[in-house]
């Protein structure tokens, strides 16, 4: 009745030594990623960008409104990425890697700053490309929130932040061997620090309230707000963020080579690139 045919011409050939791309980024999804990133910069950095007379500068409005909008933005980007082609193999691989991330999350919840989730995210994005990394970041955070009961207004922000980390890991230049491990370590340290910084920034007015001297003042000079934010960060979460950056970097340094080898072997076994199409047998 039907004949399976492997078409290699349409969807990119399997090239030995090149990483597979289970979630391809086309022109539409690339545009969506750029627009979502521009929106994300505003949503995370709103305390520095908001003007004094803006209606959302006070109270709890901004994180809630931006959180709801972010959820829709992430949903749209995921829909466009899925439309570009996400087959059963990509879904199963994403599901398993997200499960590993979600299972690792409780290990880090109690102890200061240990967040092993990011290391599997960075390595997954590295092995399977930026599109895969983006979806892995968003779904891992969502799944782990479901498992640990961490659903809250911060979830859309965490999803976009982790999705950026996976996306960035996939966009790193192609080097192999020791230089690759060194590159990934540097990226891990930077990404973890930045993640902590932007998460803090977006929830600084929300978490602290307006009554202290390190609180957010809407529409104040950027430098003054930044100084207060630095003081707030230093007194609350710097130890946490540094601890996370150090543990993730050490984990990447020690395990990048074997884990990447395992991921790439699984990618070769799954043979993501050739697309199988069924045509009626005439």
CB of 254 vs another protein, minimal distance in Å: 7
Our CB check for another protein shows the closer of 183 and 257 to be: 257
By the 8 A CB rule, do 54 and 48 touch? no
DSSP one-letter code for 19 = P
CB of 126 vs another protein, minimal distance in Å: 15
Our CB check for another protein shows the closer of 175 and 234 to be: 234
Our CB check for another protein shows the closer of 193 and 257 to be: 257
CB of 5 vs another protein, minimal distance in Å: 15
CB of 34 vs another protein, minimal distance in Å: 10
Beta partners for residue 2, in sequence order = 280
Characterise 280 by phi-psi region: left (phi > 0), alpha (psi -120 to 50), beta (else).
beta
As given in the structure block, the two tokens for residue 32 are 């969506």
Our CB check for another protein shows the closer of 105 and 244 to be: 105
DSSP one-letter code for 206 = H
* CA–CA dist 48, 162 (Å, integer): 22
* CA–CA dist 127, 138 (Å, integer): 17
CB of 173 vs another protein, minimal distance in Å: 25
**Which of 103, 101, 111, 118 is CA-nearest to residue 240?**
111
Our CB check for another protein shows the closer of 8 and 148 to be: 148
């Amino acid at each position: 009745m039907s004949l399976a045919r492997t078409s290699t011409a349409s969807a990119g050939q399997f090239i030995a030594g090149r990483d597979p791309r289970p979630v391809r980024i086309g022109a539409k999804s690339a545009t969506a990623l750029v627009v979502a990133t521009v929106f994300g910069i505003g949503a995370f950095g709103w305390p520095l960008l908001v003007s004094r007379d803006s209606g959302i500068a006070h109270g709890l409005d901004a994180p809630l409104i931006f959180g709801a909008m972010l959820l829709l933005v992430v949903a749209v980007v995921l829909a466009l990425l899925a439309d570009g082609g996400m087959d059963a193999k990509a879904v199963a691989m994403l599901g398993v890697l997200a499960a590993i991330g979600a299972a690792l999350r409780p290990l880090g919840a109690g102890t200061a700053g240990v967040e092993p989730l990011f290391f599997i995210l960075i390595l997954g994005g590295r092995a399977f490309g930026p599109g895969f990394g983006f979806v892995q970041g968003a779904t891992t955070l969502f799944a782990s929130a479901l498992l640990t009961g961490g659903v809250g207004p911060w979830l859309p922000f965490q999803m976009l932040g982790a999705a950026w980390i996976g996306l960035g890991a996939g966009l790193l230049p192609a080097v192999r061997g020791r230089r690759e491990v060194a590159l990934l370590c540097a990226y891990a340290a930077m990404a973890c620090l930045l993640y902590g910084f932007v998460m803090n920034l977006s929830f600084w007015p929300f978490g602290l309230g307006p009554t202290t001297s390190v609180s957010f003042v809407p529409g104040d000079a950027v430098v003054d707000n930044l100084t207060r934010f630095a003081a707030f960060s230093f007194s609350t979460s710097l130890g946490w963020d540094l601890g996370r950056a150090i543990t993730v970097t050490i984990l990447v340094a020690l395990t990048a080579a074997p884990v990447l080898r395992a991921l790439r072997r699984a990618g070769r076994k799954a043979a993501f690139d050739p697309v199988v199409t069924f045509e009626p047998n005439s």
